[in-house]
Amino acid sequence: MQHWRKNRAPTRYSANLLVGGASHRITVVNVHEDGAGIEGGPPLAVGAAVTLQVMHHRVASKIAWARGGAAGLRFQTPIAAQLLSTLRRLVRR
């Protein structure tokens, strides 16, 4: 089986991660149509259901991996091309 990674666009902007009814401030460090890389927030278990809240969008996701304060989100459904384009252009320090 061939393993490959989707084309991830590096970004750096703040967002909220909704976990079990609580909102946590995180940083999105990369994004693609099926998921995103994040830093910060609470300890996360692989497979946990979470929601990424960025701008006025909420994206249902699951934790794909988590290590040392970073995690990968897998979106339950791919995000629309227009939203992806907007998110890829965001870079805030």
Specify if 4 maps to a domain.
no
- Number of domains present in the structure of the chain: 1
What pLDDT digit, counting tens, does each position of 18-27 carry?
A: 999 999 999 9
The full DSSP string for 13-37 is: EEEEEEETTEEEEEEEEEEETTEEE
Q: How far apart are CA 20 and CA 6, in angstroms?
A: 28
Specify if 82 maps to a domain.
yes
Task: Give the pLDDT score at 89.
Answer: 81
- What domain range is 31 assigned to? 9-89
Task: Give the pLDDT score at 53.
Answer: 95
Whole-prediction pTM: 0.87
Specify if 28 maps to a domain.
yes
Specify if 67 maps to a domain.
yes
CATH number at residue 73: 2.40.10.220
Specify if 2 maps to a domain.
no
Mean pLDDT by 10 residues, the chain (93 residues): 58 93 95 95 95 94 96 95 85 55
